Amino acid sequence: MKRGLGRAQRDDPTLVDRLHGFIDQSETFSIPNKKAAYELTHIVFYLSEYGRKDPGISADAVRSLEFAGLLALLDHNTDLLAEICIALRFAGQTPPLGWEDWVFEQLARFKAVKTEIPRKILPGDEYHSYLMCSWLAALSGTPLFEGANEPATLSFHPAPKPVSALRGMSESIFQMDNARSADWFKMRGTLTVDLSPQAYRDLQLAEASSDKFDEFFHGFARCTPVLK
């Protein structure tokens, strides 16, 4: 979708309508799909010309970004959550409370490791995640790239990723099969009992950050209506 999206194509009303039609489908972004989530952020990047203009996205598209951000947070996906916060800023929105601070906490845990192998990406190198976090930091006025850095080939490594809340919740919902409910308050106790302390903290932040969490969970639970 993003390939070849130049200025001439952005001025094509048919193409622009298709892009808006995609990002307006909020329910799509309440279900884990990293490819769709990255397409969402990239579309906002391009429509806004990387923050140079108002992308003119709808309230539904903003909801899509928020749903995708909740999934990224529950998945402990720093790279994607940083992109979503950037996209929200480009759309003239303030990212939900706590999201950017969470990203910056992860950024502070990156270690830049000097490698003797020029231009080679080493296993575990997450330079793209480091770049997205740093880009968000620049947009928010947070100091970055501080300290003395000698010219060298560097590899960027985050802190070890914990088992995510998203994984634990998804497994629990899958095991419940038809006994699942789309009501978050009914499901919360069952879905959180086996989460690790870090996963539970991420979930608590997600809940507190968005007044749309219940609506998000309704789509995430994927409950099939009972036929009568």
pLDDT at 198: 94
**How many beta carbons lie within 10 A of that of residue 76, not counting itself?**
20
Report if residue 57 sits inside a domain: no
- Per-residue confidence band for 3, with pLDDT thresholds at 50, 70 and 90: very low
- Cα-Cα-Cα-Cα torsion 54, 58, 61, 65, nearest 10 degrees, comes to 50
Q: What does the alpha-carbon distance between residue 26 and residue 40 come to, in Å, rounded to a whole number?
A: 10
Report if residue 10 sits inside a domain: no
- Number of domains, the chain: 1
Secondary structure (3-state) at 153: strand
Q: Is 203 in contact with 195 (CB distance < 8 Å)?
A: yes
Residues spanned by the domain of 198: 165-221
Element (H, E) at 108: helix 99-108
More confident residue, 225 or 139: 139
Report if residue 154 sits inside a domain: no
Report if residue 172 sits inside a domain: yes
How do residues 119-140 score in pLDDT, each as one tens digit? 555 667 888 999 999 999 999 8
pLDDT at 228: 31
Handedness of CA 41, 44, 46, 49 (dihedral sign): negative
Is pLDDT of 154 > 90?
A: no
Is pLDDT of 10 > 60?
A: no
How do residues 93-114 score in pLDDT, each as one tens digit? 999 999 999 999 999 988 888 7
Q: Is 207 in contact with 213 (CB distance < 8 Å)?
A: yes
Report if residue 171 sits inside a domain: yes
Report if residue 180 sits inside a domain: yes
pTM: 0.87
Report if residue 124 sits inside a domain: no
Report if residue 214 sits inside a domain: yes
Using CA atoms, how far residue 10 sits from 7, 53, 80, 223, in Å, is 5, 12, 24, 37
